[in-house]
Structure 1
Amino acid sequence: MVYRNVIRILVIIFLAQFAVNANTQPAESGNHGLLAIGNSITRHGPSSTLGWTGDWGMAASKLGADYVSQLADLLSTASSSGPWRVTRINASDIETKASAYSIQTLAALHPQDYEVIVIELGDNVPKGTEDTFSPVYSNVIKASKPRNGVLACIGTWWTSPAIDKIIEETCRNAGGIYVDISGLSSIPENVARNERQIDNPGVGMHPSDRGMIEIAHRIFDKISKAIGESP
């Protein structure tokens, strides 16, 4: 329990100092749309301070290795309709500055027009602010639900049962699909610092390429049936 709390504190400090907030990555071309809204695991821009040069999900070794790209590949293979266009957004203010977050930021992206929406948030919610996070997260879910698509809400990477409960209940009440990824970060091979040399400890705590694949498969396994049933 002490170790878990230390991890959460490190992550919160890391995000507060270096997050790329509400940062949108241009969509790639494709016949179907995947919108991923999350924290640094979904997207983090380059940072010389961190020694991080990527502009994708931290800490995948390359763009195609993060969970969003892996999920898009799985969706493309399953649909047999060509590649999916992908938009990644770092919206970590939803976690750290929930009461000040503007839902209009998401509305401007027209999430209702995507076939799949992934919400990956919760890891960086400061302890004791769960009550503030909960209603804002609920508004995010309502604003992000696609018109004729599938909404997937991802649990926490650095497992937080209290936050996971909020995410699961809120998501299911809104008709979305909850994806539990608890336990993945406790497997050494799923953590970036165990996959390759990473000097910054905050970066190294993020998913490895294998960890990203595991996240993508958990999402796909949960949503694949629902996608087939969508209009």
Structure 2
Amino acid sequence: MWFNCFIIIAVWLSALNLSGSGNHRPTAEPLRVVVLGNSIVAHPPAEELGWLGNWGMAASVRDSDFVHRLERRLHEMNPQGTLEYGSVSGFEREYRHFDLDLLANYRNADILVVKISENVDPDSLGERQFLRHYGQLIDYLAPDNRTAVVICDGFWPSPVNDTIRHFARQRGFDFVQLHDLYTSDSTNSARGLFAHEGVANHPSDRGMAHIADRIWQKLAPHIRQRQLITKNQLSNE
């Protein structure tokens, strides 16, 4: 009798294992997203400016800046995915002499988002060949077609934005327009929330949310596509 019970239990467990393996679905591998920008992406504390945070300038808390809003959405779609971010304001100011190897850790991401413009001198774009150096920046960070590239203009109006938009279109990259957020609605900036004018001109929590929403519209399809490709590859193994 005990022997018969043992046989029944063994068969039942075996059936469970077979059923479980039949329902197994391959999961997408973690995606690596890189976001590069300037103080709107990240700025350390600067007491002389009245800025005490260590995240996107003028956001009230870390989770309210646009980078961390994007990170939460990424994790909803790709729980093990990573979002790396950093400031390349040094490139904006000195792009002719900037050492791109300083950005080596940001190369070859699955998806690259670049949002710069605000610190680029608009009066010497042609003379200093900004477009050529900007192209070299993108090519260094995404040296092959494996990386999906999303290009954003600046939050503030500037002729630099037109140059960046034309570059994105010529290269076939997704482009995200942001500068109209600043001009269309004063509540998108932190004016009145900080005494220092430079800090106050940065995006408020509302502005950060809008920036995240617009970038996400271009970012999400790339995430879905990458996950679909990975799942198909795993299914064929």
Task: Find the counterpart in structure 2 of residue 199 from structure 1.
Answer: 195
- Separation of aligned partners in 2, 1:88 and 1:226: 18
Aligned residues: CA RMSD: 2.0
Task: Find the counterpart in structure 1 of residue 55 from structure 2.
Answer: 56
Deviation sequence 1:89-110 (CA, Å, 0-9, x none): 111122111111111112x214
Shift of 1:207: 0.1
- Separation of aligned partners in 2, 1:87 and 1:110: 8
Shift of 1:66: 0.6
Under a length normalisation based on structure 2, what TM-score does the superposition of the two structures give?
Answer: 0.75
Task: Find the counterpart in structure 2 of residue 115 from structure 1.
Answer: 110
Shift of 1:31: 3.6
Task: Find the counterpart in structure 1 of residue 124 from structure 2.
Answer: 129
Task: Find the counterpart in structure 2 of residue 188 from structure 1.
Answer: 186
Q: Please say if residues 141 and 171 of structure 1, whose CA atoms lie closer than 8 Å, have aligned partners that are also in contact.
A: no
Whichever residue aligns with residue 50 of structure 1, its letter is: L
2:96 alignment partner, SS class: helix
- Separation of aligned partners in 2, 1:32 and 1:38: 20
Under a length normalisation based on structure 1, what TM-score does the superposition of the two structures give?
Answer: 0.77
- Separation of aligned partners in 1, 2:118 and 2:220: 25
Give 5+ residue unaligned stretches, structure 1.
Answer: 1-29
Runs of 4+ off more than 4 Å: none
Determine which of 191, 216, 219 is the counterpart of 2:215.
Answer: 219
Shift of 1:74: 2.0
Greater Cα radius of gyration, structure 1 or 2: 2
Q: Please say if residues 142 and 174 of structure 1, whose CA atoms lie closer than 8 Å, have aligned partners that are also in contact.
A: no
Task: Find the counterpart in structure 2 of residue 75 from structure 1.
Answer: 74
Whichever residue aligns with residue 36 of structure 2, its letter is: I
Confirm or deny that 1:151 pairs with 2:149: yes
- Separation of aligned partners in 2, 1:48 and 1:93: 21
Deviation sequence 1:114-163 (CA, Å, 0-9, x none): 22211111112113121222111111111122763421111111122x31
Deviation sequence 1:171-195 (CA, Å, 0-9, x none): 233342111112101211211124x
Task: Find the counterpart in structure 2 of residue 87 from structure 1.
Answer: 84
Q: Which has the higher helix share?
A: 2
Q: Please say if residues 111 and 222 of structure 2, whose CA atoms lie closer than 8 Å, have aligned partners that are also in contact.
A: no
Give 5+ residue unaligned stretches, structure 2.
Answer: 1-28, 230-237
- Separation of aligned partners in 2, 1:55 and 1:163: 27
> How do 1:2-21 and structure 2 match up within 5 A?
none
- Separation of aligned partners in 1, 2:80 and 2:191: 31
Shift of 1:42: 0.9
Q: How many residues align?
A: 195
Q: Please say if residues 116 and 149 of structure 1, whose CA atoms lie closer than 8 Å, have aligned partners that are also in contact.
A: yes
Confirm or deny that 1:179 pairs with 2:170: no
Q: Please say if residues 153 and 164 of structure 2, whose CA atoms lie closer than 8 Å, have aligned partners that are also in contact.
A: yes
Distance 1:110 1:222, change over 3 A: closer
Q: Please say if residues 119 and 153 of structure 1, whose CA atoms lie closer than 8 Å, have aligned partners that are also in contact.
A: yes
Distance 1:90 1:219, change over 3 A: same
